Amino acid sequence: MRLGLALFQKYPPQRFVELVRLCEASGYSDLWVGSERFYRDPTVMLTLAATNSRQLQLGTFIADPYSEHPALIAARLATLDELSGGRAGLLLRAGGTALKRMGIVRRLPLTALREAVQIMRGMLCGETASISGQVLSVEAARLDFAARADLPIYIATRGTRMLALAGEVADGVMISTFATTGGLTHAVEQIHLGARRAGRRPEELELIMRVDTCIHEDGVRARAAVRAILCRGLAASYPDRSWLDALGIQLPDDLEQVFAYRNGHLAESVADRLPEQIVDSYAWVGTPEQVATRLAAVIAAGIKRITIVPHLLPKQSLTRMIRDFAQIVASGALSILGAPCAT
């Protein structure tokens, strides 16, 4: 199993460096560094991660083709790859935070990601990219230095059509927020459908499962830590409910009316009313033993690369949660499966 950690840019540089070193020392394989707009600059944070680790695979969490041109994303990630000795990966999504506040319109997301991957893959392979697309265009763009042609491009999504697109064009897929084997099965089916449609072998795609989590000895309290982020996700994805439909989940009409505003702060105001089924379907919360059982189930289902996004209760220690997930939850899951512990 490869265990990954996603961190947003909430932390001052020195604290972030401490977390990077803790992540590597605790046995994590992957570190995904946030790309949230108006937080600390992700390029600087990725540079700190590269220079303060030796083995961690590093990636964007998550770049988008609206707030930054794919040609510039390709140059940035190729530079990070060069700096880190070949440890970079590029994770893309079809949205992006704060687009409205920057006057950016999120248009034709499936087309935008397809065109973005085409631009970036060509440039990473040393080609001169010239594309006049429906959303993105580039003319005679070529990297001025040699890049790693096989630098992996992943797509992060939970939407049905986007999962299929990822299967068509990406090197791997980060399956976002599905936290059950049922949701995982749905996502993998869509990815494989897209791969076969493109004449690709589905088994060649690398699958990563990304789950919001909170571990705490008080399992009831742990659930409260993820409610706000889940509500934000429901607002951000509105009106796409394919990922809910796949699990037979229907939200109450009064909540959907709130999420329809696509306002994260407003969405958080109804967090206490979020159905328990949503929490269980899209997050791992509870005691370390409870979360270990859920982790074991997805490993048994065939997912070997897992990334967690930790969420904290007031006064809860991030340092402890990072350590506990690797040392107690992950090792506990492997023990359940009768496998040796080697994250």
Cα–Cα distance, 129 to 85 (Å, whole number): 25
With a cut of 60, say whether residue 342 has pLDDT above it.
no
Cα–Cα distance, 280 to 178 (Å, whole number): 10
Average pLDDT, the chain: 94
**Looking at residue 343, what is its pLDDT?**
46
Q: What is the pLDDT of residues 310-330, one digit of tens each?
A: 999 999 999 999 999 999 999
With a cut of 90, say whether residue 199 has pLDDT above it.
yes
With a cut of 80, say whether residue 188 has pLDDT above it.
yes
Q: Give the domain 2-233+282-337 fold.
A: TIM Barrel (3.20.20)
Residue 340 banded pLDDT, cuts 50, 70, 90: low
With a cut of 60, say whether residue 234 has pLDDT above it.
yes
What percent of the chain is predicted at pLDDT more than 70? 98
DSSP 156-216: EE--HHHHHHHHHH-SEEEEES--SHHHHHHHHHHHHHHHHHTT--GGGSEEEEEEEEEE-
With a cut of 50, say whether residue 25 has pLDDT above it.
yes
Cα–Cα distance, 243 to 63 (Å, whole number): 21
Helix (H, G, I), strand (E, B) or coil at 177: coil
Whether 84 contacts 58, CB under 8 Å:
yes
**Looking at residue 97, what is its pLDDT?**
66
Side-chain half-sphere exposure of 25, counting CA atoms within 13 A: 12
pTM for the whole structure: 0.94
Whether 63 contacts 97, CB under 8 Å:
no
Residue 339 banded pLDDT, cuts 50, 70, 90: confident
Q: What is the pLDDT of residues 88-104, one digit of tens each?
A: 999 999 876 678 888 88
Helix (H, G, I), strand (E, B) or coil at 52: coil
Whether 96 contacts 127, CB under 8 Å:
no
The token pair that represents 273 in the structure block: 């009313």
Closest C-alpha to 278, from 312, 250, 306 = 250
Cα–Cα distance, 90 to 152 (Å, whole number): 6
Which of 13-17, 114-118, 244-248, 295-299 has the least mean pLDDT?
A: 244-248
Mean pLDDT, residues 153-178 taken together: 96
Whether 330 contacts 319, CB under 8 Å:
no
Whether 68 contacts 118, CB under 8 Å:
no
With a cut of 80, say whether residue 249 has pLDDT above it.
yes
